């Protein structure tokens, strides 16, 4: 049975920019390591173009509400908006390090 008072259990629900930023920064470093120094915009384009699209979730994960109430500080749940290619929960998708470092383009 899931115990929300178990030490470290909150890590399974860490999300958003605080969790995405370190992953994206690491992938940016891998891209530069693989292809050499390039303008920031090109690194960003590699990351966006090679991300795995994510659809809005159909439901909240189990026990999500017990940790976060109804979803926002205002007490009102904010549903995911947008499509698979870009939405309010996942942005341009889930970063994919392998795709990013094996990405090829004619403008390289």
Interval 76-93 mean pLDDT: 83
This model's pTM is above 0.75: no
8 belongs to a structural domain: no
Mean pLDDT of the chain: 79
78: pLDDT strictly greater than 80? no
91: pLDDT strictly greater than 80? yes
9 belongs to a structural domain: no
47 belongs to a structural domain: yes
| pLDDT tens by residue, 63-73 | 666 555 554 55
Q: How many domains does the chain have?
A: 1
**91 phi and psi, to 5 degrees?**
60, -125
CB 37 within 8 A of CB 43: no
36 belongs to a structural domain: yes
Q: How far is CA 3 from CA 8, 10, 34, in A?
A: 11, 11, 43
36: pLDDT strictly greater than 60? yes
- Domain with 35 in it: 20-102
């Amino acid at each position: 049975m899931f115990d929300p008072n178990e030490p470290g259990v909150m890590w399974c629900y860490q999300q958003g920019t605080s969790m995405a930023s370190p992953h994206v920064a690491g992938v940016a470093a891998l891209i530069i390591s693989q292809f050499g120094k390039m303008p920031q915009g090109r690194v960003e384009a590699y990351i966006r173009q090679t991300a795995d699209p994510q659809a809005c979730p159909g439901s909240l994960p189990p026990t999500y509400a017990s940790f976060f109430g109804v979803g926002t500080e205002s007490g009102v749940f904010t549903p995911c908006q947008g499509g698979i290619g870009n939405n309010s929960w996942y942005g341009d998708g889930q970063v994919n390090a392998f795709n990013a470092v094996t990405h090829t383009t004619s403008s390289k």
